[in-house]
Amino acid sequence: MLPCILLTGMHTSAQNAPPSPFRFNDTHLSIEARVNDLVSRLTLDEKVNQMLNAAPAIQRLGIPAYNWWNECLHGVARTTFKVTVYPQAIGMAATFDTMSMRIMGDYTGEEGRAIYNESIRNDKHGIYLGLTYWTPNINIFRDPRWGRGQETYGEDPFLTGTMAKSFVHGLQGDDPRYLKAAACAKHYAVHSGPEPSRHVFNVTPTDHDLWNTYLPAFRALVVDAKVAGVMCAYNAYEGQPCCGSDKLMTNILRNDWKFTGYVTSDCGAIDDFYQRHKTHTDAESAAADAVLHGTDVECGRVTYKSLAQAVKDGKLTEKEMDVSLRRLFTIRMRLGMFDPPEMVKYASIPITVLESREHAAHALKMARQSIVLLRNENSTLPLSRNIRKIAVLGPNANNPVTVLGNYNGQPSVVTTPLQSIREKLGSNANVFYSQATGFTDDGGQAGRKVLDSIGDVDAIIYVGGISPRLEGEEMRVNQPGFNGGDRTSIALPAVQTEFLKAARATGKPVILVIMTGSAIAIPWEAENIPGIINAWYGGQSAGTAIADVLFGDYNPAGRLPVTFYRSDSDLPAFDDYSMINRTYRYFTGQPLYGFGYGLSYTRFQYDKMELPVSAIAGSGIHVSVRITNTGSRDGEEVAELYVTHVGHAVNDPVRALKGFRRIFLRAGESRQIQFVLAPSDLSDIDDAGHLKKEKGNLQIAVGGSQPDAATEAGKKTITRTLKII
């Protein structure tokens, strides 16, 4: 039996403490039996308090306090401990590397466990110290103006679901008995801005869009990855708040997908039922309805407090509340919180793993992998290490805040481009620095003066873009082009384009480095700036990774997980949730840079594609292709496989990503790679959420980008037709 005193996090050995009188501490029993025993001992008021994110201790039962609210979007976030910070989620998606993603999840879970173990040893149970992480954000980044799109894995359901599964598997661990940490798929569902209206808007997408765009990633985590938790969204869906939706919560999540984990509300979302959506008359009705729809814990401290009165008034029964309590304590049991530390292999992870050498190396690896080379006219990049004088300019050139993104932790060391370029070139070069411009202002004409003073430089590197202080979650921003955390324009701020025009007029080579969490329209730059890289918010090692790419110590291979449109005129209304003309799957125009786009310092050739000439409807297939590095540099390549239904229905995708592989090839090396396509990869989903076993022709395209005659990479993709019979 586990002594009660252990449950408070104090160091008292089992030999020196009396045995626990409670069956829920008996580790020989099943988790179900233990949870049933625990819940049966709770009073109504105790049950209510355990359904708040800040659940208090129950001293008489030896149950410690626990706070469900913790974050680990790209490394453990918001903790007071120094931790490893990886690239922002959108940057990790740009790696197109599932193994890197899984390792990142594993390392993040390891650091989270270390923080939890240390906190329990010190009897601390507050916010951001627990093991239930409200990550990942798998909403589809349908519109580049959404400020929280940086937290997602991009605009494609397949890429999002695949990368998210790797993260969840890494974070939750592979122990058959215990979770290392508990992931949570959010925000369920159909949620991607606008931020200022997220508490009140009601979405009514078509069933086709619901099943083919908004739900696939959630299904991948719930059904395939066995994610521990789900967070329901603020907005309403078809007239019901998401946390009280018959269709989303009851029919799909619990009944169809058989989800047995816990659901948390987004923070304050249950308050919105009666305060903003006006679908419920008061807190009691809202709380009861949320619980009856399977929302087990409220992130908040107001509405669920009324549950005791709701039971007394007959709006729900205590037995119905017990369903939620059992889910919550099952998760805590699976995390080993009621077992002796020696039984839980993760309980021995020491605080010394924080910022370990392996974790830091992986943060640098992913920062490098995330960088997308957008333009390299006349092989402007990489720059020579023998350069004598270089100007490093721009609002992000030496900005340690931007690189960390949002929902971030704090590392001990952050590298910026300026620092890393100076370190790389050493005393052999004169590195001139000036911010030159702000993000949206000209710095009082400082930029023009800077250009007048650096006429003898060999090259100009301008590190611009935007900042997580401008785009993000429901934030106040008083800058042109931004509103409430969202963007009102996707254009690079005009002051930056004007400065780049002046810099280009000097006749010096100009390289643009963009930091951003979303797609930026740069039509002038794409025609006139010879070297452009997109570096996202690259985490603690962003500066090192950027310098490595600029000077050729790393050959970039990142791919865009979102479409870079040419202008605002390409976009439908922000609050329109129809997928018509949105994302690469439905966009009928010509993007500036398409989803999946990214250049390299070397060249790759695809040939010897093998696949069957036909397949039976409802079956899967194997596809293989040979890739050869025909250039003079070693490098990585991302092979992308797209499926197109020939003669597709008007609302079906133009094409859809259904496979990708990131591989390393030395100069001159070839490799045959395999793709295994499941039946779901060859089928669309009907309006009831079922696979459509349609017959006809499928085009299978494999290459380093989408098949697109407008780009050199797109021209080199191989396309074959498969007949479905």
Which residues, in sequence order, are bridge partners of residue 621?
Answer: 677
For residue 511, which amino acid is it? I
Residue 443 backbone zone (phi > 0: left; psi -120 to 50: alpha; other: beta): left
**Sign of the Cα pseudo-torsion (612, 617, 622, 627, in order):** positive
- 74 contacts 133 by C-beta, under 8 angstroms: no
H/E run at residue 657: strand 656-665
Which residues, in sequence order, are bridge partners of residue 606?
Answer: 627
Phi, psi of 675 (to 5 degrees): -125, 135
Which residues have a Cβ under 8 Å from the Cβ of 711 and sit 6 or more positions away? Answer: 594, 597, 705
Give the CA angle between residues 581, 659, 157 to the nearest 5°: 40
- Look up residue 325 and give its two tokens: 């309590």
- 86 contacts 73 by C-beta, under 8 angstroms: no
H/E run at residue 671: strand 670-677
The rounded distance, in Å, linking the Cα atoms of 131 and 108 is 11
The rounded distance, in Å, linking the Cα atoms of 513 and 372 is 10
- Look up residue 332 and give its two tokens: 């805590």
Taking the mean position of all CA atoms in its chain, how far away is CA 33? Answer: 36
Count of CB atoms situated within 10 Å of the CB of 7? 21
H/E run at residue 713: helix 712-715
H/E run at residue 719: strand 718-724
For residue 139, which amino acid is it? N
Q: Which of 110, 155, 355, 471 is catalytic?
A: 471
Phi, psi of 367 (to 5 degrees): -65, -45
Q: Is 266 a catalytic residue?
A: yes
Q: Which residues of 689-720 are buried (b: 16+ CB within 10 A; e: fewer)?
A: beeeebeeebebbbbbbbbbeebebbebbbeb
The rounded distance, in Å, linking the Cα atoms of 375 and 463 is 15
- Look up residue 63 and give its two tokens: 């149950």
The rounded distance, in Å, linking the Cα atoms of 452 and 350 is 55
Least Cα distance to 457 among 543, 374, 383 occurs for 383
Taking the mean position of all CA atoms in its chain, how far away is CA 705? Answer: 21
Length in residues, the chain: 725
DSSP letters along 403-464, please? GG-SS--B-S----HHHHHHHHHGGGSEEEEE--S-SSS-TTTHHHHHHHH-TT-SEEEEEE
The rounded distance, in Å, linking the Cα atoms of 639 and 662 is 6
Least Cα distance to 542 among 529, 530, 531, 558 occurs for 558
Q: Which of 111, 155, 266, 681 is catalytic?
A: 266
Least Cα distance to 277 among 188, 194, 198 occurs for 198
For residue 163, which amino acid is it? M
- Look up residue 631 and give its two tokens: 């250039």
Count of CB atoms situated within 10 Å of the CB of 535? 29
The single residue listed with the structure tokens 């949620």 is 191
Q: Is 342 a catalytic residue?
A: no
- 629 contacts 648 by C-beta, under 8 angstroms: no
Helix, strand, coil content of the chain in percent (nearest 5): 35, 20, 45
Active site members: 266, 471
